[in-house]
Structure 1
Amino acid sequence: MSTEIVQLVEQATPYLSAAVTAYGAAVLARAESAAVDAAVEGTASLGRRIIQLVWHRQDEEGRTALESAVREAAEDPDDADAAAVLRQQIKRSLREDAELARELAALLPSPGGVMVNVSGARAIGAQHIGIAASGDKTTIHPPAQ
């Protein structure tokens, strides 16, 4: 298996996990729409697009295998073995279809970029920041000169 495919799947893994968690097994049934994408976090939306891209390029046997892997991963999103089966299905598809691998690479953010996931009330996500304050009645005092 080429190193590039392994790297692509590793890079796609957080998106796949987010999609399976957000959409469940229905990730394959969802039609692409701006409304659905807007309602679900960007990471999950990209994961859905990845799964659907792979699914649409499969023959009947490949689709059945991918559906099964997605269903198992959706039933228990914390099951590392189920997630591994889904990743393996994606790897198999990429090995068999070089154009699919190129399309997947184009969907993913550039390697080496920063991905920050935040959640919860008043959560803050930033790459470079001096001062970040979150909460009620926050007071920031400048440093003494």
Structure 2
Amino acid sequence: MLDTTALLDQIVPAAEAAAAAYGASVLTRTQDEAANATVRLGQRLIRRLLNHDADTAPDSAPVRTAVVRLAEAGADPDLLALHRAELRIALRTALTEAPDLATELSVLLPATPPPPAAHAEGERSVAVGRDNTGSIATGDGAGGAPAR
């Protein structure tokens, strides 16, 4: 089974972009060539969510309602945060109720880039694969705290 949280982390930003770009019409609007890739992806994801196999699909009304409310939120940061959370919850419910839907949607998403590679060779070498927020000390007498 797919990790629903990771899938939501990819789906929600694209759905938000589509809702923000097209408002409530994102629910019926066909692909617009001038739209950017994220908006087009959001449109495809929303369309797939709302048109999933009727026999096995979860109720699409909460997703539809969340998209419309997000689209109508305007620039109010509090409303945007609230409606983003509503969309995420509606999507989580839909994906939980229909695991096959999660698989279908994951196929539409771009491949997740691999984590950055970190490799160190040799005595006292250090490799950092992501950000480092602390000191890195190697060598004789390295006590972990910088000298003052």
- TM-score, with normalisation over the residues of structure 2? 0.65
Larger radius of gyration: 2
Structure 2 counterpart of 1:98, one-letter code? P
- Separation in structure 2 between the aligned mates of residue 47 and residue 55 of structure 1, nearest angstrom: 12
Amino acid at match of 1:46: L
Asked if 1 retains the 8 angstrom alpha-carbon contact of 2:19 and 2:26, the reply is yes
Corresponding residue of 2:37:
42
Aligned to 1:62: 59
Q: Which residue of 2 aligns with 1:120?
A: none
Answer yes or no: is 1:93 the counterpart of 2:88: no
The aligned residue for residue 17 of structure 2 is 18
User: What one-letter code is carried by the residue in structure 1 that aligns with 2:63?
Assistant: L
Superposed CA offset, 1:33-62 (max 9, x none): 4xx2x1211100100111111111276982
Structure with higher helix content: 1
- Residue aligning to 1:137: none
Structural mapping, 1:1-145, within 5 Å: 4-31=3-30, 33=31, 36=32, 38-57=33-52, 62-76=59-73, 78=77, 79-112=80-113
C-alpha separation between the residues in 2 aligned to 1:70 and 1:46? 15
CA distance in 1, matches of 2:90, 2:113: 25
For normalisation by structure 1, the TM-score amounts to 0.66
Consecutive unaligned residues of structure 2, counting only runs of 5 or more, are: 115-148
RMSD, matched Cα: 2.5
The one-character-per-residue Cα deviations of 1:113-142 (angstroms, maximum 9, x if unpaired) are: 6xxxxxxxxxxxxxxxxxxxxxxxxxxxxx
Cα separation, 2, equivalents of 1:58 and 1:50:
14
Q: 1:47-84 CA distances to partner (integer Å, 9 max, x unpaired)?
A: 01111111112769823222211111001254111011
- Structure 1, gaps ≥5 residues long: 114-145
Give the structure 1 partner of residue 119 of structure 2. none
> 2:15·2:43 contact (CA, 8 Å) conserved in 1?
yes
Change (3 A) 1:3 1:80: farther
Q: What CA distance in whole angstroms lies between the structure 2 residues aligned with 1:61 and 1:5? A: 15
Identical-residue share of aligned pairs (%): 32
